[in-house]
C-alpha cells in the first residue's frame, strides 16, 4: 500500500455524521376507541395523559399526527409496538414512520 493511500484511509472524519431522524405518525381510523389510543401513546411513547390526549385528538381531527421523532431503529420499533398493541385487541390502530427532511 502506498503511503498516500494509507494516510487517506487513516485520516479520521472531520465531522461526526448527524443521524437521520424519523417521525412516528399516528393514523386515525373509525374503530379504535379514543381511550385505548391514549393508553397506547402513554405506554409506548412515555407521554403524560394530557400529551397523549392532545396527539390522539390531533390524529382524530386531521387524519394523522406526528407523535415524536427518533433515530430510525427506535422509530420503527415504537411504531411496530403501538400497531401491535392495537392488533392484539382486534383494532386497526396504525403507526407509520417517515424520514424527516
Contact 41, 54 (CB under 8 A): no
Q: Which residues bind ligand TYC (CB under 6 A)?
A: 26-30, 32-34, 37, 56, 59-60, 93
Alpha helices of the chain — where are they, by DSSP H?
3-10, 34-45, 49-62, 72-88
Report in angstroms how near the CB of residue 5 gets to ligand TYC at its nearest: 54
Distance CA 49, CA 40 (A): 10
Report which DSSP code applies to 48.
-
Report in angstroms how near the CB of residue 66 gets to ligand TYC at its nearest: 12
Nearer to ligand TYC, 32 or 97 (CB): 32
Nearer to ligand TYC, 11 or 51 (CB): 51
Nearer to ligand TYC, 6 or 80 (CB): 80
Amino acid at each position: 500500500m502506498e503511503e498516500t493511500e494509507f494516510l487517506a484511509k487513516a485520516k479520521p472524519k472531520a465531522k461526526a455524521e448527524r443521524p437521520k431522524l424519523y417521525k412516528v405518525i399516528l393514523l386515525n381510523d373509525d374503530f379504535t376507541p379514543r381511550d385505548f389510543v391514549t393508553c397506547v401513546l402513554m405506554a409506548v411513547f412515555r407521554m403524560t395523559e394530557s400529551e397523549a390526549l392532545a396527539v390522539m385528538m390531533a390524529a382524530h381531527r386531521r387524519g394523522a399526527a406526528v407523535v415524536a421523532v427518533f433515530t430510525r431503529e427506535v422509530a420503527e420499533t415504537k411504531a411496530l409496538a403501538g400497531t401491535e398493541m392495537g392488533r392484539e385487541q382486534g383494532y386497526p390502530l396504525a403507526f407509520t414512520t417517515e424520514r424527516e427532511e
